């Protein structure tokens, strides 16, 4: 058999650029990605200010970060171009800016000026122009002179807006960013304004376990300090993990250090002070290859695993709908003749412990923070209702009604299917 090699041209088709805008980013995801970029560009020891203005025909996001040097500005539209290290926490794929802008509008302009340059670089992108005449190798960048040397900034203006939103959604954005970027805002290293209003920092709500302080003596003699708690069910899913600090400075947010892949770990939030672990030059990432980091990570994993074992188990069953909640147990038999007064005892957030739920009591059952039943399998009424209303649920405990006391404070871990005594 004879084989030969021919060379084929695999330069991407121009339309790939436009397809990025169809990645399904919501307005909040797209803006968050641009905020990530600004935060990545923050200057050490200088408060970063991110100013976002949103209207139905234009979105502008500006920051007083490092700005882009000429060689970066000239490549910023390049797909896959990134100046960030491999272990960078926020950006790294070199697609975020393009994807976000094109998810929001059909054209955008980037203006940026790095410190001490005296120059401003402008690159823009317009879908219609691009598809008709765009050229990967000859894209224009304009350079303006006479910019004050003591400032640096990046400003992205997105035009021909394709997303729809109303005032209510804008307010929700501010709340979402308050949570997502809360640790940065709270540590006073970043401020975010949306239509001239500051995003207020918010942190996930904790169960009544509250904050548990810990001190772990590491094999090397260092003491690792911090606290952790469990997130209240219903508090936003993505935001879990540790905010990590080095000498009082916030390094990473919602860091998954020490947390296993176990769904249970997704309820943990806290802070860790890792003064002795080295960080990258921009102080935004831990050097995860370092011996110090590995030690902290391993010992924390061990500590959290042991902590969970120490909790006192009451009963277990089949997890029908996940979540971890703490609340007051309401042990109640739901029969055909259960009276209304008894049902009124189920207050919002209480944990309904019963033999089996019944469709006619749906209204009361919906108020429960979690459901635990003696009987039933994955297809029983309780299991279906809990999925429908997103209520953590354990079924088939067999003797839950007998073992759990009415009025007792319990933790329902419906990720694992275990009911614990609350401390
Ligand atoms: N606001 C900004 N300030 C300074 N540089 C930026 C900013 N936004 C983007 N950049 C630069 O553009 C590059 C590409 O951005 P992006 O497409 O979001 O990819 P990534 O964030 O994954 O690197 C970044 O690596 C960074 O160098
Ligand atoms: Mg990015």
Atom index in ligand 1 nearest the CA of residue 61 equals: 1
How many angstroms separate the CA atoms of 213 and 227, rounded?
Answer: 4
Pocket test for ligand 1, best of 31, 62, 97 (most atoms within 8 A of CB): 97
Q: Which H or E run contains 187?
A: none
Atom of ligand 1 nearest to the CA of 156: 1
Residue 286 DSSP one-character state: B
Residues paired with 190 in a beta bridge: 48
Tell me how far apart the alpha carbons of residues 347 and 146 are, in angstroms, rounded to a whole number: 66
Run means of pLDDT, 10 residues per run, the chain, 423 residues: 93 91 89 93 94 96 98 96 69 85 97 97 97 93 96 98 91 89 90 95 80 90 92 75 88 90 82 91 82 94 78 90 91 85 90 90 89 88 91 95 95 90 80
Label residues 88-97 b or e (16+ Cβ within 10 Å = b).
bbbbeebbbb
User: What is the C-alpha to C-alpha distance for residues 240 and 182, in angstroms, rounded to an integer?
Assistant: 12
Residue 205 in any domain: the answer is no
Same domain, 34 and 149: yes
The per-residue pLDDT for 362 is 86
Question: Measured from the CA of 65, which atom of ligand 1 is nearest?
Answer: 3
Instruction: Output the pLDDT for position 42.
Output: 92
Indicate the number of domains in the chain.
3
Q: What's the pLDDT score for residue 145?
A: 97
Q: Where are the beta strands (DSSP E) in 24-179?
A: 48-54, 58-63, 105-113, 119-126, 141-145, 153-161
Q: What pLDDT shows up at residue 234?
A: 64
Q: How far apart are CA 255 and CA 270, in angstroms?
A: 9
Same domain, 37 and 175: yes
Closest CA to 190 of 85, 279, 64: 64
* Position 304 in a domain: yes
Range of the domain at 387: 313-421
Residues 254 and 362 in one domain: no
Q: How far apart are CA 269 and CA 274, in angstroms?
A: 16
Closest CA to 413 of 264, 308, 304, 270: 264
- Beta strands at 351-354 and 370-373: parallel, antiparallel or unpaired: parallel
Tell me which residues have their CB within 5 A of the ion that is ligand 2: 37, 91, 96
Examine the domain organization and report whether 350 and 368 are in the same domain.
Answer: yes
Enumerate residues lining ligand 1, CB below 6 A.
37-38, 41, 63, 65-68, 72, 76, 81-84, 91-98, 154
* pTM recorded for the entire structure: 0.69
Q: What does residue 38 show for φ and ψ, rounded to 5 degrees?
A: -65, -45
Task: Mark whether 27 and 168 lie in a shared domain.
Answer: yes
Radius of gyration of the chain (CA): 26
Q: Residue 371: what are its φ and ψ, rounded to 5°? A: -125, 135
Rounded Cα gap, residues 377 and 263, in angstroms: 21
Q: In angstroms, what CA-CA distances link 103 with 31, 39, 288? A: 10, 20, 33
Q: What is the CATH number of the domain that holds 126?
A: 3.30.565.10
User: In this structure, are 59 and 185 located in the same domain?
Assistant: yes
CATH code, 367: 3.50.30.10
């Amino acid at each position: 058999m004879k084989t030969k090699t021919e060379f084929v041209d695999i330069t991407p088709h121009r339309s790939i650029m436009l397809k990025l805008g169809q990645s399904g980013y919501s307005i909040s995801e797209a803006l968050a990605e641009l905020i990530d970029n600004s935060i990545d560009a923050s200057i050490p020891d200088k408060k970063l200010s991110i100013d976002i203005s949103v209207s139905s025909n234009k979105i502008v996001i500006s920051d007083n970060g490092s700005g882009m040097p000429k060689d970066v500005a000239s490549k910023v539209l390049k797909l896959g171009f990134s100046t960030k290290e491999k272990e960078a926490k926020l950006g790294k794929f070199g697609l975020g800016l393009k994807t976000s802008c094109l998810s929001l509008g059909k054209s955008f302009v980037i203006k940026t000026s790095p410190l001490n340059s005296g120059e401003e670089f402008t690159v823009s992108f317009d879908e219609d122009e691009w598809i008709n005449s765009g050229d990967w190798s000859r894209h224009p960048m304009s350079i303006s002179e006479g910019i004050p040397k003591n400032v640096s900034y990046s400003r992205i203006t997105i035009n021909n807006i394709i997303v729809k939103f109303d005032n209510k959604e804008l307010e929700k954005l501010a709340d979402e960013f308050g949570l997502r970027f809360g640790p940065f805002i709270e540590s006073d290293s970043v401020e975010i304004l949306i239509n001239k209003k500051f995003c207020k920092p918010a942190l996930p709500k904790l169960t009544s376990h509250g904050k548990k302080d810990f001190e772990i003596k590491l094999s090397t003699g260092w003491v690792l300090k911090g606290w952790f708690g469990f997130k209240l069910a219903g508090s936003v899913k993505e935001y879990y993990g540790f905010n990590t600090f080095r000498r009082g400075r916030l390094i990473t947010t919602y860091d998954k250090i020490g947390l296993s892949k176990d769904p249970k770990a997704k309820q943990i939030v806290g802070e860790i002070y890792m003064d002795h672990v080295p960080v990258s030059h921009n102080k935004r990432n831990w050097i995860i290859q370092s011996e110090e980091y590995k030690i902290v990570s391993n010992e924390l994993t061990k500590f959290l695993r042991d902590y969970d074992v120490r909790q006192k188990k009451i009963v277990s069953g089949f997890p029908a709908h996940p979540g971890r909640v703490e609340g007051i147990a309401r042990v109640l038999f739901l029969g055909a003749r259960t009276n209304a007064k008894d049902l009124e005892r189920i207050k919002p957030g209480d944990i309904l412990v019963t033999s089996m739920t019944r469709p006619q009591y749906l209204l009361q059952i919906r108020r429960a923070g979690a459901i635990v039943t003696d009987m039933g399998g994955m297809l029983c009424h309780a299991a279906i209702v809990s999925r429908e209303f997103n209520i953590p649920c354990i079924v088939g405990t067999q003797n839950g009604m007998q073992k759990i006391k009415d009025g007792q404070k319990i933790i329902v871990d419906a990720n694992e299917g275990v009911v614990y005594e609350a401390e």
